Structure formats: C-alpha cells, structure tokens
C-alpha cells in the first residue's frame, strides 16, 4: 500500500511525496489507521523505523479536518518528549509534513529565552511539542492552557514514564481533558512501565514490531575487550582507519565526555561534545554540524541516545557501557537507520563485563567478539599520539632495552 492510497488530505500526500515517503514502514502501516479512528495506541518498534511519522501523519490530517469544520484557538495536540534535541527534531518533522495544510506547530524547551515561545503561543498554534520543565513553567505562569488537548503523545514513553518523569506526567493529567486520545511510542518498554502506561489509556491498540529483536537487523554488533585506560588509543585507531566515517561515541558522564574530547584533541582529531552541561544554543549548533557532516566525531552522553535522527552515522561506539541495558538499544539505533547499514562497536573493560552480560541477556543474543591479539593491542598503545599514553611505551621500550643489554652482557661473559 502506498501513501497515495490512504484517506488523508491531498496537501499531506503532496508533502509526503516531496520528502520521499512512498510506502509506509511496518510501524506506520499498523499505527496510522487506528490513530485516524481515534483509538489509543501503545506502540513499540525498533529505532529508525519511522515512529515520528507514524503519529505525525494521522494527527496532522485529523487537525486539518477539524480546522475546516470549526474555528478554534485551542492547542489540539501535545507531544511530550524527554530531551531538547528530540523536541526540536519532532517539531521539524511536524512543520515539514504540515506545509500548506494550515496546521501550525511549535516546540518549547528549556535553556533558551521563553519570550519568543510565549509570543508564538499567543499567536495560536495547533500542535505543541514540549519537554516537561518548560511546559510546566509556562502552565504555572498562565501562558499555556491545555484544556483543549484532544491528542496526547508521549514519545520515548518508557523514559517519560520512568521515575524521573512520572510525577510530571501525573501533574500533567490534571490539566488535560479526561476525554482525549493517548498515544505512546518507544523502542523499548519494560513490564513495570507497560503496566503504568496501560493505566493512563483506554482500551489501547497494542502494536509491537519485532519484539524479540529490539535492534534493527542492518546493524552489525561487535565488542572489544579493552581496559579502561586504553580505550582512548583504540578510539584513535578506529578514527584513523576510517577517516571519512561519521562516528558517534557514547560515554557515561559529562566529565568523561570532556576527557575523551581532550584526548582526541591531543592526537589532532577534531571532535566535539554534547551533554546537559552545554548551553542549548551550543548543543544545537554542534548537533547540526554533525548532521551535515562538518563534524565527523561527536562524543555524547545518553542525552543523544533517544530518538535523535542523525543521517549516515557509520559507527556508534559504546566507549562506556550504558548503565541500563535498554539504553544500548537506543544508542546503537543512531546508526543503521532506515535502509542504511551501520556498525556498533563496544569497548568493554574488565569491570564492565557484568553490564555486557545484562545487555546480551536483554538482546537475547551474544555480541560478536573482536579478536585482538596481544601484539595488536600493544601496537595500538605504542603508536598512539596521545602523550598521556606515551609514558607506557617509554617504559616498555626501556624494559626491552634493559633486557637486550643484560642478554648481550651475559653472552659476552
């Protein structure tokens, strides 16, 4: 079935065609009809399968029809997301798909001046994409009314309903009409969160794509056993051996991100970091540079693991293993998106092997081990340009010279 055969507006079909949407993906094929019918949906699908369009297409169509039949200044759809970057990305998708439909979308996030956001709200909008912090700020200040919401969408729903956000979600429900359509979308969802999600919806249609394989098939997975202090040398080698590749590196903390970035600077490899400690404008600029290819190496915390669509990422490197197994799925989902191929390489130290076992259990499969012999391992450390590691080479060279000297002295005797 092609998008041209769907019962959606001509303007929407035209926009889909311009953007290269010909046929729906599995999640789009299964989600669009029930959403058009007004049913609640709980959808779980692999990363990179087109989940955003799966809810954006039917919502835009429904709002366009409503605007033709009655005039309203109320916000009709609220999309809640966990990160600033995801909010900006989803806002762009809605705007692009809704061109010439009369459906207006804005995104509101924290970390930037709220005045332009308030002005946009006052001009009237149909779809609001928001992160929790700024949303509740504007509600409490009286700039934002949610009493007209007809569709609530939670993207990356498992994270939105996790401990850090559940209070926000419960507070949000008090501001929304009891009668509404609720949509949950995510790549992963555990039993506890699933139970909570069901408590917030009414007889939802449950859609689950490839439940036994949460990661797309066009991603190759490898794990290399590398000690913590040696990881920077192996990252340097991977970059040097793939100079034209776009590489996204995940670390556990902001401090780790900056340390790895400094290590890359020392070996003359251009990189940048993105994490919650950065100003929002800087985060946006860095992400745009990486998307366009002006930047080939991006070092990130899990702030960029969720839902962000970055074209043509060749490698995802788990420099540090994630604390939660499901975050592995979200991280590696930044590569191999759509029909593209991708590689996920994990650097696992001795102290991280238990986490690796949890990830493999979550995936229900073992990750292929990259065989690194002792000579290759030592060679990688010896030839790094990183002066912090050069002392190891000097010690080994000194030990070798000492052994040769003693052996030579022994032969003379």
The yes-or-no verdict on residue 173 having pLDDT over 80 is yes
In a domain, 403, yes or no: no
* 29 and 166 part of one domain: yes
The yes-or-no verdict on residue 151 having pLDDT over 80 is yes
* 291 and 183 part of one domain: no
Please enumerate in sequence order all residues whose Cβ is within 8 A of that of 278, keeping only pairs 6 or more positions apart, or say none: 286
The yes-or-no verdict on residue 407 having pLDDT over 90 is no
Residue from 341, 295, 294, 352 nearest 319 by CA: 352
Cα 61 from Cα 57, distance rounded (Å): 6
* 227 and 368 part of one domain: yes
Q: Which helix (H) or strand (E) is 199 found in, with range? A: helix 191-199
* 183 and 81 part of one domain: yes
* 109 and 193 part of one domain: yes
* 309 and 179 part of one domain: no
Residue from 233, 273, 238, 239 nearest 256 by CA: 273
How far, CA to CA in Å, does 369 sit from each of 149, 347, 372?
50, 10, 9
* 112 and 242 part of one domain: no
Over the stretch 210-256, which tens digit does the pLDDT of each residue have? 555 666 678 899 999 999 999 999 999 999 999 999 999 999 999 99
Over the stretch 354-406, which tens digit does the pLDDT of each residue have? 999 999 998 888 999 999 999 999 999 988 877 555 555 555 555 566 666 56
In a domain, 67, yes or no: yes
In a domain, 405, yes or no: no
List for the chain the helix, strand, coil content (%; round to 5): 50, 15, 35
Please identify, among 161, 183, 208, the residue that sits at the C-terminal boundary of a domain. Answer: 208
Cα 215 from Cα 336, distance rounded (Å): 10
In a domain, 327, yes or no: yes
Q: How many domains does the chain have?
A: 2
Residue-level pLDDT at 162: 66
* Range in 134-143, 277-286, 393-402 the model is least confident about: 393-402
The yes-or-no verdict on residue 330 having pLDDT over 80 is yes
How far, CA to CA in Å, does 12 sit from each of 58, 60, 63, 128, 313?
10, 8, 12, 19, 29
* 169 and 279 part of one domain: no
* 197 and 226 part of one domain: no
* 223 and 186 part of one domain: no
* 202 and 230 part of one domain: no
- What beta strand segments (E) does 1-104 contain? 41-44, 77-80
Domain that holds residue 152: 3-208
In a domain, 157, yes or no: yes
* Mean pLDDT of the region 163-192: 81
Taking every pair of Cα atoms in the chain, the longest distance, rounded to a whole number of angstroms, is 104
Cα 331 from Cα 249, distance rounded (Å): 9
In a domain, 411, yes or no: no
In a domain, 159, yes or no: yes
Residue from 81, 45, 54 nearest 329 by CA: 45
* 66 and 139 part of one domain: yes
Structure tokens at 334: 């930044």
In a domain, 294, yes or no: yes
CATH number at residue 111: 3.40.50.300
Cα 208 from Cα 107, distance rounded (Å): 28
Bridge partners (DSSP) of residue 80 are 130, 154
């Amino acid at each position: 079935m092609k998008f041209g055969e769907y019962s959606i507006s001509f303007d929407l079909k035209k926009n889909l065609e311009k953007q290269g949407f010909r046929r729906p993906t599995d999640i789009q094929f299964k989600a669009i009809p029930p959403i058009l019918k007004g049913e609640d949906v709980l959808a779980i699908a692999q990363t990179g399968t087109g989940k955003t369009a799966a809810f954006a297409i039917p919502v835009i169509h429904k709002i366009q029809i409503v605007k033709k039949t009655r005039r309203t200044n109320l916000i009709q759809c609220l999309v809640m997301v966990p990160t600033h970057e995801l909010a900006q990305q989803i806002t762009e998708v809605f705007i692009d798909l809704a061109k010439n439909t009369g459906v207006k979308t804005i995104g509101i996030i924290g970390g930037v001046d709220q005045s332009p956001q308030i002005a946009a709200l006052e001009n009237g909008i149909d779809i609001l994409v928001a992160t929790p912090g700024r949303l509740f700020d504007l509600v409490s200040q009286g700039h934002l009314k949610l009493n007209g919401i007809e569709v609530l969408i939670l993207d990356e729903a498992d994270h939105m309903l996790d401990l850090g956000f559940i209070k926000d979600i419960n507070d949000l429900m008090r501001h929304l009409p009891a009668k509404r359509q609720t949509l949950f979308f995510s790549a992963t969802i555990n039993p506890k969160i699933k139970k909570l999600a069901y408590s917030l919806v009414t007889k939802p249609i449950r859609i689950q794509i490839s439940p036994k394989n949460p990661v797309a098939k066009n991603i190759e997975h490898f794990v290399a056993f590398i000690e913590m202090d040696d990881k920077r040398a192996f990252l340097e080698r991977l970059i040097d051996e793939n100079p034209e590749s776009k590489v996204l590196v995940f670390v556990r903390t902001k401090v780790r991100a900056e340390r790895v970035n400094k290590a890359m600077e020392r070996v003359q490899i251009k990189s940048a970091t993105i994490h919650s400690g950065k100003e929002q404008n800087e985060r946006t600029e860095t992400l745009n540079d990486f998307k366009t290819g002006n930047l080939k190496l991006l070092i990130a915390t899990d702030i960029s693991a969720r839902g962000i669509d970055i074209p043509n990422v060749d490698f995802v490197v788990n420099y540090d293993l994630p604390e939660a197994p499901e975050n592995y799925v979200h991280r590696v989902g930044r590569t191999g998106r759509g029909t593209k191929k991708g590689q996920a390489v994990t650097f696992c130290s001795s102290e991280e092997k238990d986490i690796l076992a949890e990830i493999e259990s979550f995936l229900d499969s073992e990750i292929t081990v990259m065989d690194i012999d002792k000579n290759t391992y030592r060679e990688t450390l010896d030839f790094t340009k990183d002066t912090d590691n050069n002392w190891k080479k000097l010690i080994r060279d000194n030990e070798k010279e000492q052994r040769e000297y003693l052996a030579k002295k022994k032969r003379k005797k």
